[in-house]
Amino acid sequence: MRFSRKWLQWISCLAFKNPSQHTSMKRGSSSYIFEGEQPTLEEIRGWGKSFDKLMKSTSGRKLFRDFLRSEFSEENILFWLACEELKKEVDVPIIEEKSRTIYEDYVSILSPREVSLDSRVRDVINRNMVDPTPHTFDEAQIQIYTLMHRDSYPRFLNSQKFKALAQLQDGVSASGSTTESPT
């Protein structure tokens, strides 16, 4: 029996997430479920003005990750998040294990989730992997962050989901008041 990807994602949400931890945002015909605290309209609009604000917000990263998944480039944010987690580590054996996992999952040319890195950065990573530190992937992380900012972020801002959440379409003005279209 084969199931669609959307159906499997829906089932996995039911199986692994506690519905009491979700907050649903409804604006017009659009809704989106955020984990934890619901962002304000001003915060959502701030994501549209600053990629840094988007990436610093847990809710913003979740929305952006969902967008990247729809574009088949989710590996970029997953790599970036894995690097952020690595930077928090101080235990050498854990640093080595996490570094190896990140390398195998995102840098290795054999990985199905390989991120796009230039040869210079790959050489730096290969040298760093001899003695991994929390900063083994810093140059690669910057390159992927820049790639997401330059390529994916503009498309995200033009997506219907973002525009609906930021109330930037369907007769809603930037001030949040409903406007009537001329008839």
pLDDT value of position 33: 67
pLDDT value of position 32: 67
Say how many C-beta atoms besides its own lie within 10 A of residue 180's C-beta.
6
pLDDT value of position 180: 39
Largest CA distance in the chain: 68
- Name the E strands within the chain: 22-27, 30-35
- Cα first-last separation, the chain: 51
pLDDT value of position 101: 98
Averaged pLDDT in 10-residue chunks for the chain of 183 residues: 40 35 38 74 96 96 96 97 98 97 96 96 97 98 98 97 81 41 38
pLDDT value of position 31: 54
Going along the chain from its start, the domains and CATH numbers come out as 23-72+152-164 (1.10.196.10), 74-150 (1.10.167.10)
User: What tokens appear for 123 in the block?
Assistant: 């050489």
27 φ, ψ to 5°?
A: -140, 110
pLDDT value of position 38: 85
Say which residue the tokens 């990573």 belong to.
Answer: 125
At what angle are helices 119-128 and 138-147 packed, to 10 degrees? Answer: 150
